[in-house]
Amino acid sequence: MDVTRVDQIAIAVEDLDATLELYERSFGLTASHREVVESDGVEEAMIDVGGVWLQLLQPTRDDSPIARYLERNGPGLHHLGFGVPSVDGALEHLRDQGVRLIDEEPRRGGGGHTIAFVHPKGTGGVLVELVEDAPAEDTA
């Protein structure tokens, strides 16, 4: 399996607007993309920091994974995203290695990317998202 980059650092937040205002005021960082991902029950804002995305995640419903995370842990680091050429290939490799997965099959994530999550119990306690770039026509 080839990890080509750190794609994102995802942070769970309770108030996306307030967090974006804080990041802009404190660090001069602004979101270049914002969307609701209904399937995951989140609104996300993406901030490019030198080619690595900060992904701020606010729950849109009480039963979303981010809502449950915030309830247990409060705001903070949620997961790391690793860019891979093929999520299918990465999942096959991880299964062969006996690594515990959350997503057995790739699925569509924000920005049209293909994604899958790897269970923190299989990665030394860190939730990992595998990210395959969206085809060019899906990113417009």
- CATH number of the structural domain spanning residue 28: 3.10.180.10
What's the confidence (pLDDT) of residue 133? 85
Instruction: Sort 109 into a burial class: Cβ within 10 Å, 0-12 / 13-18 / 19+.
Output: buried
- pLDDT, tens only, 87-101: 999 999 999 999 999
- Identify which of 12, 127, 24 has the alpha carbon closest to the alpha carbon of residue 80: 127
Interval 113-129 mean pLDDT: 95
By residue range, what is the domain housing residue 94?
A: 5-138
Mean pLDDT taken over the chain: 94
Interval 32-60 mean pLDDT: 96
What's the confidence (pLDDT) of residue 140? 46
pTM of the model: 0.87
Number of domains in the chain: 1
